Chains A and B, each alone.
Chain A
Amino acid sequence: MKLKTLILGLCTASAFALAAHAESITIATVNNGDMVRMQKLTDDFTAKNPDIQLNWVTLEENVLRERVTTDIATKGGQYDVMTIGTYEVPIWAKQSWLLPLDDLGADYDAADIIPAIAGGLTADGKLYAAPFYGESSFVMYRKDLMEKAGLTMPDAPTWDFIVDAAKKMTDRGADVNGICLRGKAGWGENMAFLTAMSNSFGARWFDENWVPQFDQPEWKKTLETYVNVMKEAGPVGASSNGFNENLALFQQGKCGMWIDATVAASFVSDPKNSTVADKVGYALAPDNGLGKRGNWLWAWSLAVPAGTQKADAAKKFVAWATSKSYLELVASKEGWANVPPGTRTSLYNNPEYQAAAPFAKMTLDSINSADPTHPTVKPVPYVGVQFVAIPEFAGLATNVGQLFSAALAGQSSVDDALAAAQSAATTEMGMAGYTK
């Protein structure tokens, strides 16, 4: 009996010793290519930090968001590092759920982070999440089809041009659709695109007093333009197409133009997976001459929840994954084209990167032309380009997204969809106490 106790005690003691030696942190991340690559490169981190062990939880976007939100709101303490987007950062920072990341080491060079991206991740002058990759949206188009239609894409097109070009490029017999846009319902799917688009039409979600604005002519113009161009020049099944579905269509040469995330550029220009890799051109997202373009701003970022016991290790990891040397590490292993884009100015000044990524300049210009603090033509009480950074937005916008996808599918009129959206938004805002 005594011996047993002794052995047991020894075991426990050694387990403690081990635990003290190797601290393990759990990282929740989204299953996108850049994050998967980071996961594969962990050896570099553990070699530099032998006392830290990394556990990965890789989930698809919807599930990830649900998991980390539940965890942080209930102080579940399951994760030490969370991958979150520009939408969550201001909300969570306000709740003091995140640790400020202003001490990521001497060589971190926070000033190098692209200002527009850093702006979306900063609250009260402090960075609350470090961007892992950043994106805006722009137009990707087929140079050959544009030429065939007798048109030249300007660097900064207008909506009129896009609509006209979409119609002229459409050749349904040859299975070519002039334009592919998101139609699948969801706040991060069709509503990300439509909200950004509406900004360029002078529309806004709420006025200064949080009154919903779907009954205004700007929204009507936005939705009508969208529905009409998709009817005449969009693919079948558009109302269930999200990023991936459109990517597959574009890669197979079925789209003349596609307005979507700048990260898509590295997919469509990859000859291994894209049949049109050498024919893709890029342009800024369209505008209407009102001073705002229809492009969004998003950064998948790493944040450290305030409840973690392992803040130091977590911060070390965040600093590693979002550092300049991480970019170099990826470049040395997988080439410059596979470096996570959109976070650091120095990357865009790097001639090697410019050579490897023909879309680099257009990406940077797009990111720089988005302004999350002044997203709309008319003044608004919120921040966020393709979202409104309030907790109620995700649910509300998913609801509105469903209504708009019905308009796209031709199952309700634009007017009905807008009226229903207005009433849904009014109810939601009344309930949440923004309006009386």
Chain B
Amino acid sequence: METRPDLQKETTVTKTKNKKREGRSLWMDGWIRLKKNKLAMFGLYLVIIIVLAALFAPFITKYDPYTQLIWTEGRAAQLSPPSAKHWFGTDVYGRDIFTRVIYGARISLQIGIASVLISVLIGVPLGAIAGYYGGLVDDVISWLINVIFAFPFLLFVLAIVAYLPPSLIIMYVAIGVVNWASIARVVRGQVLSVKEKEYVEAANALGSSDFRVIFKHILPNVLAPVIVQATLRVGNVIMLEAALSFLGFGVQPPEPSWGYMINQGRQFLLAGKWWWSVFPGIAIMMLVLGFNLLGDGLRDALDPRLKQ
């Protein structure tokens, strides 16, 4: 019996074909791409470090953010410059600024994440409904989005928080209620393009309900831009909260809000006692930078088409 070389060849080919490549989800692909992006990872680490610092604040610093050390350490604890004892110095009430900056991260992160969650919860369904149904529903929702966009953002939030009793919940809601429009706009645009795809047609043909089509087939496919937008929004909201608190309309003293700390340290900054205002500012910059770098990286990682 003669061997046929071409047959042998064929079996080796099928053998290599059978060595199946490990399947990877879109998210796994995105994560691998994100890991290669040094700037994005730097942003992620910044965010993680600040989140950990906020969570474990009592273990990082031995001071309390509200305790005025003048009573225990005397006048020396008042507006003392950065030292080994007080890394970021103390404020005029003798509170340790490093401690207040660390605890302040809790407020900024809470407001940033909670209000963006609220805007996602409002914006995603409204944007999806507008994009999917079109017609009058779309007209009404798009009109609402345009009205919110034309409204001066800061004044909108200011007008809400200025006259209601100061509370964190009201700030989450006020900022979330204004912010949903940008999320809804992104979702609407995405849904408009996704709903023409064959798999949506297939789901419709199989008799799936609109609810099922939107939530099961369309939304998972528009999630990536929502995540990117939401990450970038968190940075914006943290900045907005700082601005509100700086103007005196945001988080009320004695809570350690970064924006309010900058405001309080203002007079002393002009007199050369820089630490009270400078450190909270750096903290805001680092946290916002973290979210911005991460958001940019996520955009590149989750939507490779955008990457050059």
The answer to whether A and B belong to the same complex is no
Give residues in A with beta carbon < 8 Å to B.
none
Interface of B with A (CB < 8 Å)?
none
